């Protein structure tokens, strides 16, 4: 156990009791409600059924067709080889199967009971709220209060390398529901984990709220890739809260793909590269349509010497969609490098894209750069393709599909192909 | 039969008149060369023939195979059989050259090279991918492209020679009947000029017997060096200030430009002098 050194100072000073956390969390929520912060009232949504300790399914064979359909929409193919699968509907888990020795996949509630610090086991409580502070905002506070809700725990033991990805899917199935998820992922020294996850609103549950806290702890020389596809409804609010802590030589690749309409989605994973030569590569792909509002980005703290981060976003905006694409890199350690790259295509007169890159150099020994381009497709490009016999709309489609052809080379070869396939499937379904 | 006929074409770009009462006729099987100083309107002519948006036809007509195409959309003109090699094509992020070539081929009904004059599809290729038809790799091999080249984004970071070879590769897939070449040799090293010229010659049926020469071409060039490799050129034109000022025997016209420059053409001085020595000149000058 070596997490203490990575904890933020305030947490380190004293171990806060869960009662104290809940009390403080309630105050945060109350204050947010009084100020009508962020325009989302947590009380307007219900948790639904949470008191079912047993999984509703025992194997993949039990997955109903309706659920399979939703899984397809987020690119999760149960026919693919996998190291494990976790399914959750609302606030209770449906299925949790792990079939790789050395890599554990558990519902978080079960994991907290199992890893309680007794019998030489580590204490999972020590990881709770260390990568994401519980008092960040009303959403993390809500998750801190609702500790009875579910989520997944993924644990890769020292040196364990998964050949196939772990799959996870979270569904919101009832109208007016708030899904409050808390996930913890720990990759011990020298381990490798690939995770493909999808989150989706059922067509019957348009009005919903998804809160997802995900905490990643990637130890020395470990590598984690995380491919996440979101498929929401036009009345769903989404607030993922992600924190990633990377130790010496740890690597993290993050692919985030949202191609459905949403009401309001705001996320900004915070990556702390505390270790020497730790590296982070994050790519976000957003196809904003309808009247969706997106505010997405990532914040990387380059603390360890020689650490590096790349934050890339590709945005397509149609209809009345408004997308804010952010990226912040803070260069604190020596010889760190960071790059932010945002390109956006605006495909309708009503859509809007704001690119907000920020680089902060805290010492002279850093190399931080950013580039951004936002605009419509150049006429010159369309006319060039038309000069090869394509119609105007065929030309636009070809340019757009090229724009979506993201660089998956930071992923292991198998997963790169898988991710490409997911993007193709999702974009075909969403764009026709 | 007339393959390309332009009558009194006047074109404005952003309110500025670039082509002025421009006339040109190219019959089936003919290859013409168009010469002129920078800013004469040569590239504007190409883009007007294609129907680019910002090139407003104020007056005049364009015919392809005696059918008026003056106001046709760009892609319809291409599907009728016009093809173009651009001088400065744009780079398109994310669009792989192989993908563009595959789509071009499909548009022309050229799924595996069967409309090629040569049987390219029979050439087995070692590094062909299942993502695009093998005949495309065969064509790329003929142009001596490195193996990964087809998987690069169109014109992204291409050298001058690579841009032109990519353009000509697209022509090979499209197999047009009227080919427009805008500076096929500019920015290209000598070795690649010969390679490009060889393919142009093929695309233009130059090595077939005259009765089988069904393709036509219009070549814009600065230097004339590439013409040395193209076989018989039907006619040369000098374009200045948006119109053709002189047309005639290619050897004579190129010789006089080489000797005295375009400005002398205004007065026709050098051609008068050169007529007597016509027998001794050729394109290599």
For the cut 80, the answer to whether the pLDDT of residue B67 exceeds it is: yes
pLDDT score, position A52 = 64
pLDDT score, position A7 = 45
Contact of A402 with chain B, judged by CB distance below 8 Å, is answered with: yes
What is the CB neighbour count within 10 angstroms for residue A376?
14
pLDDT, tens only, B188-203: 988 889 999 999 999 9
pLDDT score, position B125 = 38
Instruction: Specify the pairing of strand A208-218 against strand A251-258.
Output: unpaired
Q: Do A399 and B90 touch (CB under 8 A)?
A: no
A vs B, Cβ pairs < 8 A, gives: 71
pLDDT score, position B75 = 95
**Which element (helix H / strand E) includes B278?**
none
pLDDT score, position A180 = 93
pLDDT score, position A8 = 47
Query: What is d(CA B101, CA B112) in angstroms, rounded to the nearest whole number?
Result: 11
- For residue B170, the chain A residues in CB contact (below 8 A) are 388
Cβ-nearest to B104 among A378, A383, A388: A388
- For residue B52, the chain A residues in CB contact (below 8 A) are 383
pLDDT, tens only, B222-238: 767 888 889 889 999 99
Contact of B55 with chain A, judged by CB distance below 8 Å, is answered with: no
pTM of the model: 0.81
Contact of B79 with chain A, judged by CB distance below 8 Å, is answered with: yes
Of B57, B58, B60, which is closest to residue B48 (Cα–Cα)? B57
- Average pLDDT of chain B is 86
Half-sphere exposure at residue A224, Cβ-oriented, CA atoms within 13 angstroms? 32
| CB of A275 closer than 8 Å to CB of A246 | yes
Residue partners of B81: CB distance under 8 A and separation at least 6? B64, B65, B176, B177, B178
Residue B181: strand, helix, or coil: strand
pLDDT class of B271 with cuts at 50, 70, 90? low
Half-sphere exposure at residue A43, Cβ-oriented, CA atoms within 13 angstroms? 7
pLDDT, tens only, B36-51: 998 999 999 999 999 9
Half-sphere exposure at residue A30, Cβ-oriented, CA atoms within 13 angstroms? 6
Residues of chain A with pLDDT under 70: 1-15, 51-53, 148, 430-432
Q: Count of residues for chain B?
A: 285
Contact of A386 with chain B, judged by CB distance below 8 Å, is answered with: yes
| Domain residue ranges of chain A, discontinuous segments joined by + | 4-431
Q: Do A402 and B99 touch (CB under 8 A)?
A: yes
Q: What is the DSSP letter of B195?
A: H
Residue B235: strand, helix, or coil: strand
3-state secondary structure chain A: CCCHHHCCHHHHHCCCCHHHHHHHHHHHHHHHHHCCHHHCCHHHCECCCCCCCCCCCCCHHHCCHHHHHHHHHCCCCCCCCCCEEEEEECCEEEEEEECCCCEEEEEHHHHHHHCECCCCCCEHHHHCCCCCCCCCCHHHHHHHHCCCCCCEEEEECCCCECCCCEEEEEEECCCCEEEEEEEEEEECCCCEEEEEEEEEECCCCCCEEEEEEEEEEECCCCEEEEEEEEECCCCEEEEEEEEEEECCCCEEEEEEEECCCCCEEEECCEEEECCCCCEEEEEEEEEECCCCEEEECCEEEECCCCCEEEEEEEEEECCCCEEEEEEEEEECCCCEEEEEEEEEEECCCCCEEEEEEEEEECCCCEEEEEEEEEECCCHHHHHHHHCCCCCHHHHHHHHHHHHCCCCCCCCCHHHHHHHHHHHHHHHHHHHC
pLDDT class of B80 with cuts at 50, 70, 90? very high
Of A246, A253, A193, A234, which is closest to residue A320 (Cα–Cα)? A234
Suggest the residue from A375, A387, A417, A420 to mutate for an interface test with chain B (most B CBs closer than 10 A): A387
For the cut 50, the answer to whether the pLDDT of residue B127 exceeds it is: no
Q: Which two tokens stand for residue B134?
A: 């093998």
More confident residue, B251 or A2: B251
Query: What is d(CA A246, CA A279) in angstroms, rounded to the nearest whole number?
Result: 8
pLDDT score, position A51 = 59
- For residue A401, the chain B residues in CB contact (below 8 A) are 94
Of A271, A280, A269, A286, which is closest to residue A426 (Cα–Cα)? A286
Q: Which two tokens stand for residue B53?
A: 């948006």
Q: Which two tokens stand for residue B128?
A: 């062909």
Q: Do B174 and A389 touch (CB under 8 A)?
A: yes
Our CA-based measurement puts residue B226 at a distance from the nearest CA of chain A, in whole angstroms, of 24
| CB of A168 closer than 8 Å to CB of A198 | yes
- For residue B79, the chain A residues in CB contact (below 8 A) are 389
Under CATH, what is the fold of the domain B1-91+176-248? Rossmann fold (3.40.50)
Q: Where does residue B249 rank: exposed (0-12), middle (13-18), buried (19+ CB within 10 A)?
A: middle
- For residue B73, the chain A residues in CB contact (below 8 A) are 386, 391-392
pLDDT score, position A76 = 85
Q: Which two tokens stand for residue A364?
A: 């002279």
**Which element (helix H / strand E) includes B127?**
none
Residue written as tokens 């949403």? A262
Q: Which two tokens stand for residue A291?
A: 């009247």
């Amino acid at each position: 156990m070596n997490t203490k050194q990575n904890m933020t100072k305030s947490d380190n000073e004293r171990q806060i009791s869960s009662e104290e956390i809940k009390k403080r969390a309630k105050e945060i929520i109350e204050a947010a409600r009084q100020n009508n912060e962020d325009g989302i009232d947590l009380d307007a949504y219900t948790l639904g059924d949470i008191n079912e300790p047993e999984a509703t399914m025992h194997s993949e064979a039990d997955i109903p067709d309706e659920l399979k359909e939703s899984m397809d929409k987020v690119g999760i193919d149960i026919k693919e080889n996998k190291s494990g699968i976790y399914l959750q509907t609302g606030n209770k888990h449906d299925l949790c199967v792990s079939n790789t020795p050395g890599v554990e996949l558990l519902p978080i509630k079960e994991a907290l009971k199992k890893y309680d610090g007794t019998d030489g086991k580590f204490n999972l409580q020590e990881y709770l709220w260390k990568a994401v502070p519980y008092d960040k905002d009303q959403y993390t506070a809500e998750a801190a209060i609702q500790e009875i809700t579910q989520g997944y725990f993924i644990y890769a033991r020292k040196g364990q390398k998964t050949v196939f990805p772990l799959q996870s899917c979270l569904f919101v199935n009832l109208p007016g529901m708030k899904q409050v998820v808390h996930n913890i992922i720990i990759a011990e020294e020298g381990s490798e984990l690939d995770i493909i996850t999808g989150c989706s609103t059922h067509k019957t549950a348009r009005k919903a709220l998804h809160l997802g806290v995900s905490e990643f702890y990637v130890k020395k020389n470990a590598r984690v890739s995380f491919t996440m596809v979101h498929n929401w409804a036009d009345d769903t609010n989404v607030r993922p809260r992600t924190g990633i802590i990377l130790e010496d030589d740890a690597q993290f690749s993050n692919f985030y793909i949202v191609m459905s309409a949403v009401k309001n989605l705001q996320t900004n994973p915070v990556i702390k590269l505390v270790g020497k030569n730790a590296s982070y590569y994050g790519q976000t792909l957003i196809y904003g349509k309808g009247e969706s509002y997106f505010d997405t980005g990532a914040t990387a703290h380059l603390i360890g010497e020689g650490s590096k981060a790349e934050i890339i976003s590709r945005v397509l905006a149609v209809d009345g969609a408004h997308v804010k694409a952010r990226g912040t890199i803070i260069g604190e350690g020596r010889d760190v490098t960071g790059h932010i790259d945002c390109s956006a295509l605006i495909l309708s007169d009503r859509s809007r894209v704001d690119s907000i890159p920020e680089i902060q150099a805290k010492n002279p020994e850093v190399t931080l750069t950013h580039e951004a381009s936002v605009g419509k497709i150049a006429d010159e490009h369309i006319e060039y393709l038309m000069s090869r016999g394509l119609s105007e709309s065929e030309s636009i489609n070809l340019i757009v599909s090229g724009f979506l052809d993201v660089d998956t080379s930071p992923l292991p070869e198998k997963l790169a192909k898988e991710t490409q396939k997911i993007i193709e499937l999702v974009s075909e379904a969403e764009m026709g | 039969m007339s393959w390309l006929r332009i009558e009194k074409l006047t074109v404005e770009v952003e309110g500025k008149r670039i082509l002025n009462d421009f006339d040109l006729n190219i019959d089936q099987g003919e290859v013409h060369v168009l010469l002129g100083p920078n800013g004469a309107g040569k590239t504007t002519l190409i883009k007007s023939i294609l129907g680019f948006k910002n090139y407003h036809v104020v007056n005049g007509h364009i015919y392809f195979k005696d059918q008026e195409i003056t106001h046709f959309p760009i892609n319809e003109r291409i599907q009728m059989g016009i093809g173009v090699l651009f001088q400065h094509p744009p780079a398109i992020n994310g669009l792989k050259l192989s993908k563009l070539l595959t789509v071009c081929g499909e548009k022309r009904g050229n799924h595996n090279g069967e409309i090629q004059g040569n049987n390219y599809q029979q050439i087995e290729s070692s590094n062909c991918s299942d993502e695009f038809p093998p005949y495309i790799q065969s064509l790329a091999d003929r142009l001596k492209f490195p193996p990964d080249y087809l998987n690069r984004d169109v014109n992204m970071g291409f050298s001058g020679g690579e841009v032109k070879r990519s353009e000509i590769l697209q022509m090979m897939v499209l197999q047009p009947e009227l080919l427009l070449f805008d500076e096929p040799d500019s920015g290209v090293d000598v070795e690649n000029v010969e390679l490009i010229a060889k393919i142009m010659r093929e695309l233009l049926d130059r090595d077939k017997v005259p009765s089988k020469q069904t393709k036509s071409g219009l070549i814009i060039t600065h230097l004339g060096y590439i013409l040395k490799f193209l076989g018989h050129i039907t006619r040369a034109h000098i374009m200045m200030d948006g119109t053709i000022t002189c047309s005639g025997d290619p050897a004579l016209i190129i010789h006089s430009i080489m000797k005295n420059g375009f400005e002398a053409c205004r007065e026709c001085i050098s051609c008068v002098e050169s007529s007597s020595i016509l027998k001794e000149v050729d394109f290599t000058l």
